[in-house]
Amino acid sequence: MSFINKLRAVDSLENTNAPTVRPPYGHRLRVPPVPLHAPNGAPGSTGEPSSGRFSNGLKEFLWQIDDIGRGNLLDLGAVSQATVTYFIERNFKVYTEDLFAAWGAFLEQESQRVLSLPVGTLQPDMSPAARADRFLASNLRYPVDSFDAILLWDVLDYMDREAAQRFLSRITSLTRDGGAVLAIFHTRPPEKFQRYRVLDAHTLEVVPVPSLVQPRHVYQNREIQELFEKFRTSKTFVSRDQLREGVFVK
């Protein structure tokens, strides 16, 4: 069982008043309420203030998928009730995969497995590409052309370039023709690990949280274009908070 499927096993903790997210293969997961702000304005688990920021990338992404109607959306960040509700109210079926949590747990398991091997045992290939291939063998296992929209967030900043290429190949196969991907890249190594929530049609909430994975690469424009080379159009926006937002249409 993959780490993601283990996460889905927490259905017993479901809140019956929360919106339903429908993962593939008939599994059902109910999203527990996620408070946008704890007392004193801090997000519940971090003790640090969160902030809403105007997002040209989000605005462009929503414009690209506006005429899809009843589509499928994949959110690769932590489950956010605000994000889920926003898209369900716009007639999207929302699927969630906390890719950061799964990838971080996988890397830890890989390291522990290598350390536990007897002396003299042949070591597995620990190159970024090989580890990405092993991860993808049991994660992100959706049928081809499953999604009209994908929230990739800043996942790729926390992967070596070779691993990112493997992930983008899978993401590309999951995106239908005419579908759009919203990705975020840091223009310099990030000082804090953060999550993103959709508040409205042009506002993202940025929430600092404890780090799950260390940043691996700062992608330049040329590298980003190469990663998304199979997408027919792209538009990027650079903001003052050192984030580059990209919208890519297949």
Record the tokens describing residue 243, joined without a space. Answer: 């984030």
pLDDT in tens, 61-102: 999 999 998 899 999 999 999 999 999 999 999 999 999 899
Q: What is the mean pLDDT of the chain?
A: 82
The size of the chain, in residues, is 250
Are the C-beta atoms of residues 71 and 65 closer than 8 Å to each other? Answer: yes
Listed range (24-33, 118-127, 171-180, 215-224) with the worst mean pLDDT: 24-33
pLDDT of 20 above 50: no
Angle at 93 between CA 183 and CA 248, to 5 degrees: 25
Burial class (CB in 10 A: 0-12, 13-18, 19+), 6: exposed
Question: Residue 212 belongs to what domain range?
Answer: 3-249
What does DSSP assign to residue 45? T
The backbone torsions φ and ψ at residue 32, rounded to the nearest 5 degrees and listed phi first, read -65, 150
pLDDT of 116 above 90: no
Q: What is the CATH number of the domain that holds 233?
A: 3.40.50.150
Is the whole-model pTM more than 0.75? yes
Strands (E), the chain: 20-21, 29-30, 51-54, 72-75, 93-96, 147-153, 175-186, 194-200, 203-208, 233-238, 243-249
| Cα–Cα distance list, 99 to 15, 69, 79, 242 (Å) | 23, 26, 11, 23
Angle at 175 between CA 169 and CA 181, to 5 degrees: 90
pLDDT of 36 above 80: no
Q: Please report where in the chains the tokens 């994660």 appear, as a residue.
A: 139
Are the C-beta atoms of residues 18 and 82 closer than 8 Å to each other? Answer: no
Q: In total, how many domains does the chain have?
A: 1
Please name the residue ranges forming H helices in the chain.
Answer: 3-8, 56-64, 81-88, 99-116, 128-136, 161-174, 221-227
| pLDDT for the residue numbered 75 | 98
